[in-house]
């Protein structure tokens, strides 16, 4: 029997926007009125049965974001679990040996913490904007997961914030919905850097129009729930075929819509071993959520991640299947070295 839940969110009481399926093993406690749940009932110290995996996948399709506390998984176990969701996107770090495990931490190889003024410090600024992972790639990732390894002290920040793009789409005015039909968004990793820090000389010197971009429909069918969803991000450079000014206004309108407090949920990592999994085709996310950076440059935030390719008919968007991944990082590093030399620290510009 399907159950409809209503929970109280900070912005008021909203009705959960779809009937919740019933599960026999896992227990999902909603974290927000319209999306997100904390999951109990999964013993990560033992092999997870296929039936439990199917319940997890079903819950992820419904809630968009799932949180698992104190899983106790090693890096190897965590990646093996990720493989059960689908094909993992390649990722390697020289900081640890586990294959297909990404490193979004604030640490260098020697264990030192990234400091203000360093390029990696400025590169990370874009993560404070709502985005979906790898929308700038021809082949998009559907699922992203983070596992906490070492956390900043409580009260200094380090949360991940999510925005419910499915419900935000549901509550758009009909005129905007009609306008968005069949619209194609064009995404660029260079663009999101500029949105985060428009006056940073390194980013300002790299024109997104000079580099490859990727195309994905703005409104997509979410495969896990059958609902419509806005596939938008800070990486969204323009709407294909629209006047530049009109395109910019529309993108800003959609971004501000999702940022309304009633669509936003914040997830704190409470201890090492906490895991969050989310669906990039159902939500957007950002680091911190305007809570300040009390940990940044001072405390270790060691988190690790995997991503799973979309594996739906929409996986490649409107891009040629097989298009290789375009790496913006080396180009940004080269431009930064050109401007500032190998030392590369930059303090003298207006971040606003």
36 within domain boundaries: yes
**What CATH number should be reported for the domain holding residue 106?**
3.60.130.10
Angstrom distance (rounded) from CA 238 to CA 249: 10
DSSP letters, 281-300, are: TTEEEEES-SS--SSTTTS-
How does pLDDT run along the chain (352 residues), one tens digit per residue? Answer: 222 233 333 333 334 544 567 899 999 999 999 999 999 999 999 999 999 999 999 999 999 999 999 999 999 999 999 999 999 999 989 999 999 999 999 999 999 999 999 999 999 999 999 999 999 999 999 999 999 999 999 888 889 999 999 999 999 999 999 999 999 999 999 999 999 999 999 999 999 999 999 999 999 999 999 999 999 989 999 999 999 999 999 999 999 999 999 999 999 999 999 999 999 999 999 998 555 556 778 899 999 999 999 999 999 999 999 999 999 999 999 999 999 998 778 887 777 6
Q: Which domain holds residue 227?
A: 6-340
Which pLDDT belongs to residue 349?
77
349 within domain boundaries: no
Phi first, then psi, for residue 189 (nearest 5°) are -70, -30
Residues with Cβ within 8 Å of 247's Cβ and at least 6 positions away in sequence, in order, are: 238, 239
> Other C-beta atoms within 10 Å of 1: how many?
5
350 within domain boundaries: no
347 within domain boundaries: no
Q: How many domains does the chain have?
A: 1
Chain length of the chain: 352
Which pLDDT belongs to residue 295?
74
351 within domain boundaries: no
348 within domain boundaries: no
1 within domain boundaries: no
224 within domain boundaries: yes
Which pLDDT belongs to residue 157?
85
- Strand extents, DSSP E, 195-314: 214-217, 219-221, 228-230, 236-239, 264-267, 275-279, 283-287, 302-309
Residues with Cβ within 8 Å of 83's Cβ and at least 6 positions away in sequence, in order, are: none
Phi first, then psi, for residue 120 (nearest 5°) are -60, -30
Give Rg (Cα) of the chain.
20
């Amino acid at each position: 029997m399907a159950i409809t839940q209503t929970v109280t969110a900070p912005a008021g009481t909203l009705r959960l926007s779809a009937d919740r399926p019933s599960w026999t093993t896992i227990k999902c406690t909603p974290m927000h009125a319209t999306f997100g749940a904390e999951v109990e009932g999964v013993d990560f110290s033992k092999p997870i049965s296929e039936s439990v995996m199917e319940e997890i996948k079903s819950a992820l399709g419904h809630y968009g974001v799932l949180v698992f506390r104190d899983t106790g998984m090693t890096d190897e176990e965590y990646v093996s679990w990720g493989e059960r969701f689908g094909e993992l996107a390649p990722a390697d770090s020289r900081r640890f040996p586990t294959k297909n495990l990404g490193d979004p931490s604030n640490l260098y190889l020697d264990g030192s913490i990234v400091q203000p003024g360093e390029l990696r410090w400025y590169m990370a600024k874009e993560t404070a904007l709502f985005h979906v992972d790898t929308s700038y790639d021809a082949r998009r990732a559907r699922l992203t997961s983070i596992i906490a390894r070492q956390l900043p002290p409580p009260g200094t920040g380090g949360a991940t914030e999510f925005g419910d793009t499915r419900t935000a789409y549901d509550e758009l005015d009909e005129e905007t919905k009609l306008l968005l039909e069949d619209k194609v968004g064009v995404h660029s990793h260079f663009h999101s850097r500029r949105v985060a820090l428009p006056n940073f000389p390194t980013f300002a010197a790299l024109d997104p129009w000079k580099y490859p971009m990727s195309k994905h429909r703005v409104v997509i069918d979410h495969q896990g729930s059958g609902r419509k969803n806005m596939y938008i991000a800070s990486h969204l450079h323009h709407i294909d075929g629209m006047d530049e000014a009109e395109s910019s206004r529309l993108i800003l309108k959609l971004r501000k819509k999702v940022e309304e407090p009633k669509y936003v949920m914040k997830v704190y990592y409470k201890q090492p071993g906490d895991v969050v999994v989310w669906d990039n085709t159902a939500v957007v996310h950002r680091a911190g959520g305007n809570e300040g950076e009390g940990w940044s440059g001072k405390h270790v935030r060691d988190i690790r991640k995997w991503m799973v390719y979309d594996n739906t008919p929409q996986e490649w968007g409107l891009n040629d299947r097989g298009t290789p991944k375009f790496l913006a990082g080396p180009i940004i590093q080269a431009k930064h070295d050109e401007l500032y030399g190998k030392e590369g620290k930059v303090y003298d510009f207006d971040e606003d």
